[in-house]
Amino acid sequence: MRAILSVSDKTGLVEFARGLEARGVEIISTGGTFKTLREAGVAVRYVSEITGFPEILGGRVKTLHPAVHGGILAQRSEAHLAELAAQGITPIDLVVVNLYPFRQTVAKADVTLEDAVENIDIGGPSMIRGAAKNFASVTVVVDPADYDAVLERLGSDDRAFRQRLAAKAFGHTAAYDAAITAYLGEPAELPAERTLELVRVQSLRYGENPHQQAALYREGSSRGAVLDAEVLQGKAMSFNNYTDADAAWNLCLEFEAPTCVGVKHANPCAVGTGSSLEEAWTRAYAADPVSIFGGIVAFNRELDEATALAIKDVFLEVILAPAYSEAALAVLGKKKNLRLLRTAQAPRPALDYRRIGGGFVVQQADTLGVEGIERRIVTQRAPTEQEWQDLLFAWRVVKHVKSNAIALAKGGATTGIGVGQVNRIWATQQAIEHAGERAHGSALASDAFFPFDDVVRTAAAAGITALIQPGGSLRDEDSIRAADELGLTMIFTGVRHFRH
C-alpha cells in the first residue's frame, strides 16, 4: 500500500505516519511534511523520487505529474492497472492532504495581495479531488480528526467510510475555493455565481423550537460582534438567543450616546438613551417593562456597577456589552443562569441573505443611517429642537422593526412600537395603544410612506406632534394637508426601511 502525505496542519501527523509505517505502508511526501517526518525518524520518500522530476517554479509545481495523479485516479480494473504498469506507475491508495493556510494568511492585518496569492494551493486540491473522485479505491483524508479511524480501517474494504471521507474532502476544497473567491471579490458584489463557505462553530441545543436541530456557523473567516462574543457566564446560547442578540446589537450601533436596547423575538421592544447607561436602562425599562421581561438587552458602553445594580432584579435572558467593570460582573455574577456576552470588534456584514425554498434572495445590507436621509420639512410648521431629536431617535429605531413598522419616541426613549402589521394604520394603532398616555407629545416614525392620511389623523388624535416618513406616495399631498390642518410637523426622508 502506498500513501502520499502533504499537510499544512501537522496536528497528529507524526503519530499517524508511524501508524502507517507500522502497517507496512510506503509513505511519499513533500516540502515541510517530508522534513517533519524525516526528522521524526519516519521512513519517507520525497515525491521527486516518484516523479523523476524536481520541484520547479519555487515549489509551485511538485505533485502535478502523471506518476502522482495517475496513481491516484486509476481504477483498480485490469485495464487501468495494466496501463499504470506499462508506464511504471504504482497506485496510490491513501491521500492525506490539507491545504496552504490561505484563511490564516488573509486574516493578517498586513497581508498583501501577493502573499495571499502565493498561499492559494493548486497541487493540494488537485490530489484531494482526484482521490475523492476515486473513493471506490482510494482513501482521502483532509482532517487530522479522522486519522485514528483511518488506521483502524486500513486494509479493509469499507467503501461507505471512504465515501464519507470523499464527501468531506469535496466540502474542504469547496470551502477553500469559496474563501479565495470572497477575498478576491468585492464583499457587496452580487455576481452571477456566489459560493457560501459555512464552517460550523458549534451545535446548539435546538432551533427556534425543541423539535428542530440547529447549529451556529461562521461564514468563511468573517467575524461578528455576537458570533465572536465572549460568553462570560450563564447557560449556553440558543438559536433564538443568537438571533435576538444580533438584532439588539445592530440597533445599539445606530446610537452614539449611552444606549440600552431591549429586544424580544428579534424586534426592539424598548430603547432608551441618556447621559449614562443607568439612565438609558431606566428609560428603556420604563418604556416597556412587560415585554423586556425575559428579553435580550444590549448596551453600547462598558456596563458599570450602577447599571448592573439597576438591572439585577429584572429577569433577562442575555445581556450584551462591549465591556463590563469588575464591580458590574460581581453584581451580575450572582445570577448564574444569566448569559453575559462581551461583544467582539467586527465589521457589519456587507450582504443580507434570506432563505426561500430552493435558494436565497440576497441584498446589500441596509447600513444607511440618519446621515443619509433628506430631512425635508414638508409642512408649514418646522420641528422644534426637541421634536428633531425625537424624530431622529424614532427613525433610528423603526429601521430595525419588522414591517409594517411604526415607532414612537419622546425624551430619549421609545414610547410605543407597532410591529409587523399587514397595514400601516394597524401598526400605528398598536404603537399608540402600547404608548397610552405617553403618546401625547411623542414623535412618530414610519418605515415606509403613508398611502392615506389616516395615519396622520390617528396620530394627531393621540397627541403626537411630529412625524417622519419616507414620502413618495401618490397621496402625499393628502397627508401633508392633514398635518397642516392639525398643526403637526412632518419630515420626508426620501429613504424607505422595509424589514421583512
Grid cell at residue 362? 440576497
Output the nine-digit C-alpha cell for 477: 399631498
pLDDT: which is higher, 49 or 398: 398
For residues 179 and 255, membership in a common domain is answered with: no
Could you tell me if 13 and 154 lie in one domain? yes
- 434 found inside a domain: yes
Of 116, 151, 184, which one is at a domain's C-terminal end? 184
Same domain as 109, residue 62 = yes
202 within domain boundaries = no
pLDDT single digits (tens) 347-378: 888 889 998 999 989 888 999 999 999 999 99
Cα–Cα distance, 261 to 271 (Å, whole number): 5
Same domain, 172 and 234: no
Listed residue (472, 450, 473, 445) closest to 254, CA to CA: 445
CA atoms within 13 A on the CB side of 112: 3
Centre a 10 Å sphere on the Cβ of residue 394 and count the other Cβ atoms it contains. 29
**Domain end marker among 184, 204, 220:** 184
pLDDT band at 156 (very low <50, low <70, confident <90, very high): confident
Three-class DSSP category at 152: helix
Helices of type H across 233-276: 239-252
Catalytically active residues, by annotation = 133, 265
Domain housing 128: 2-184
Residues β-bridged to residue 359: 356
49 and 122 in a single domain? The answer is yes
Q: What pLDDT, in 10s, does the model give residues 113-144?
A: 888 888 888 888 888 999 999 999 899 999 99
Residue 85 is predicted with a pLDDT of: 86
Q: Are residues 338 and 379 both part of a single domain? A: no
* Domain annotation covers residue 349: no
Residue 264, number of CB atoms within 10 A of its CB = 21
302 within a domain of the structure (yes/no) = yes
Tell me, yes or no, whether 190 lies in a domain: no
Res 254: pLDDT: 95
Pair (338, 384) in one structural domain: no
Q: Is 236 exposed, middle or buried (0-12, 13-18, 19+ CB in 10 A)?
A: exposed
Q: Domain check: are 178 and 261 in the same one?
A: no
The CATH number of residue 290's host domain is 3.40.140.20
Pair (332, 378) in one structural domain: no
Regarding whether 131 and 52 lie in a shared domain, the answer is: yes
Q: Is residue 105 part of a domain?
A: yes
Separation between Cα atoms, residue 225 and residue 353, nearest integer Å: 18
Return d(Cα 363, Cα 36) in angstroms, integer.
Answer: 47
Residue-level pLDDT at 120 = 85
Half-sphere exposure of 274 (CA within 13 A, CB side): 18
Which of 149, 184, 219 is where one domain is finished? 184
- Before 404, cis peptide (omega within 30)? yes
Number of domains in the chain: 3
Same domain, 109 and 163: yes
Residues 287-338 pLDDT 10s: 999 999 999 999 999 999 999 999 999 999 999 999 999 999 999 999 989 9
CATH number for 78: 3.40.50.1380
Residue 125 within a domain: yes
Residues 6+ apart with CB under 8 A from 444: 394, 406, 407, 408, 428, 431, 455, 459, 464, 466, 467, 468
Strand partners, 274: none
454 occurs within a structural domain: yes
User: What's the CA gap between 209 and 323, in Å, rounded?
Assistant: 31
Q: Grid coordinates standing for 38?
A: 524525516
Q: Are residues 408 and 452 in the same domain?
A: yes
